[in-house]
Structure 1
Amino acid sequence: MQLFLGADPETISATYRSVAGRGLEDNAVVVAGYADQKIGVIEAGFASPNPFTIELFGTDAGLTYTDDGNVLTIAGRQLPVPEHGKDPFAQWVDHINDGTRADDNLSRAVELTRLVVAANEAAGEGRAVPYPATKS
């Protein structure tokens, strides 16, 4: 599975900070470096009262989503967002009852775990690390 930008990144670097003073990281920036010189930036923070927001920007257009009003904007145009589906617990129960698996979701979870492992290694060592993470 490709992380983003159409290919797996070559490197991951990360900076974690604690701005709320609670003894844990509550603000992080992760940078994915690609062979074709593209970069992907992932910012995650839990120290701000801002609403949940996703922003994706490229050379041709951008996409933003916020749960403050459930608004999706692509290339400056607002698009309707369908109502939220079943929550994860209800989906899990359905899979148990139906004898099915959420294979796509499972593969995304594995890829997210690989990214977090690489980001943790990069932040801990203060350097970019190969992706997927390998201990050197």
Structure 2
Amino acid sequence: MIRTALLSRWHVHADDYARQAASHPAIHIAAVWDEEETRGRSWAQELGVPFYAELEEVLADPDIDGVIVSAPTVMHYPILMQAARHGKHIFSEKVLALKVEEIDEIFHAATLSGSTLQLALKRLAEPYYVYAQSVLERGWLGKLTLLRCRLAHPGGVPREVSPYGILPAYFFDHGLCGGGALMDLGAHPICLVNRLGGRPQGVYARLEKVYGREVEDHAALIVDYEGGLLGIIEAGFVSNNSFHLELHGTEGVLLIENGAVRLRSVHEGGNQWMTVTELPAKLRSPLEQWADQVLHGTPPDITYDDMRMLTELNEAATASDREGRRISLR
């Protein structure tokens, strides 16, 4: 059994992780800490567990095995470093940290203490991703030349009752988030494109503020990979719900839109469009991967490379937008 402390209810997915943990047979929610005491005490009361007012106190508790971190993004690095030094197993909301050098320090601290690290990159477990990877491995697309992934929702579109839409106002506070739509929602298309494209070589980015807030509410990146492959990554809080994953190659095209999958390949179906109705099984969720690694030493599907390249691309994209040029990642 993994006795787990929930660290902060700040992120909009904090309750989701609490529900997932509560439903997992090997995870027991044992405590709550929150940087806002009133919010934390209320959450602890709802869950029927103790509330810790001091982070050090909960991390020093020898009965706590692991932590689920949903704190403000800018707090991830100090919290994760402190948790790793105490030997706690860590499941974190994205991103792991804002800078690559911070990521490396977290990895080092976790390695020294024997802590496991896992990041909430749930789309790397989805059947459409597993299928896309299998199509590439079979060579049905020939040489891959272009990847595009877009993930967007209208959560940041102002409404009469809320100038920030359905998202909390603090999601647009740079001092808490460190970034906007790309930092949060963009984590998923970044990791999908990196997984399918390999290691990014450089990026040109535009981070735009449609409503003039402190952080971007939509963003577009052009990423170059080895062999002339280009990746287009889009994320936004200010357009209607959409998810697109496109793989274009010299001998085929794979299009995924909100779960619908279509394939056209010279190797399958006579180079005619086919609707794919049977997809592979979903992989273990990130939280399941974390629990399996903690309890059984099972290697996770989501790796340190996924976590590091996510922060690396975010950091480079921010520099690219600020400087108006392509940033090399070689």
- Cα-to-partner distance string for 1:39-78 (whole Å, 9 max, x where unaligned): 33222223222232212223432222233xx322222322
Q: Which among 218, 230, 237 is matched to residue 46 of structure 1?
A: 237
Say whether residues 1:17 and 2:215 are aligned partners: no
Task: Judge conservation of contact 2:203–2:328 (CA < 8 Å) in 1.
Answer: yes
Structure 1 residue 13: deviation in Å? 0.8
CA distance in 2, matches of 1:10, 1:92: 30
Say whether residues 1:127 and 2:329 are aligned partners: no
Q: Which among 295, 298, 323 is matched to residue 97 of structure 1?
A: 295
CA distance in 2, matches of 1:3, 1:85: 18
Amino acid at match of 2:286: P
Task: Judge conservation of contact 2:207–2:321 (CA < 8 Å) in 1.
Answer: yes
**Long gaps (5+) in structure 2:** 1-192, 265-272
Say whether residues 1:72 and 2:284 are aligned partners: no
CA RMSD of aligned residues (A): 2.9
Task: Judge conservation of contact 1:13–1:122 (CA < 8 Å) in 2.
Answer: yes
Paired residues, what number?
129
Q: Which has the higher strand share?
A: 1
Inter-CA distance 93–52: structure 2 relative to 1 (3 Å threshold):
same
- Cα-to-partner distance string for 1:87-114 (whole Å, 9 max, x where unaligned): 3222211221112342653222222222
The structure with the largest alpha-carbon Rg is 2
Inter-CA distance 81–46: structure 2 relative to 1 (3 Å threshold):
farther
Q: Which residue of 2 aligns with 1:31?
A: 222
CA distance in 2, matches of 1:85, 1:9: 25
Amino acid at match of 2:316: A
Larger RCO: 1 or 2 (CA < 8 Å, sep 6+): 1
Structure 1 residue 119: deviation in Å? 1.1
Say whether residues 1:106 and 2:304 are aligned partners: yes
Structure 1 residue 37: deviation in Å? 5.0
Inter-CA distance 28–87: structure 2 relative to 1 (3 Å threshold):
same
Task: Judge conservation of contact 2:201–2:225 (CA < 8 Å) in 1.
Answer: yes
CA distance in 1, matches of 2:235, 2:285: 22
Structure-1-length-normalised TM-score: 0.72
Amino acid at match of 2:235: A
Inter-CA distance 61–108: structure 2 relative to 1 (3 Å threshold):
same
**Long gaps (5+) in structure 1:** none
Amino acid at match of 1:93: A
Q: Which has the higher helix share?
A: 2
CA distance in 1, matches of 2:286, 2:196: 27
Inter-CA distance 48–64: structure 2 relative to 1 (3 Å threshold):
same
Amino acid at match of 2:209: S
Q: Which residue of 2 aligns with 1:86?
A: 284
Structure 1 residue 6: deviation in Å? 5.9
Amino acid at match of 1:26: D
Structure-2-length-normalised TM-score: 0.34
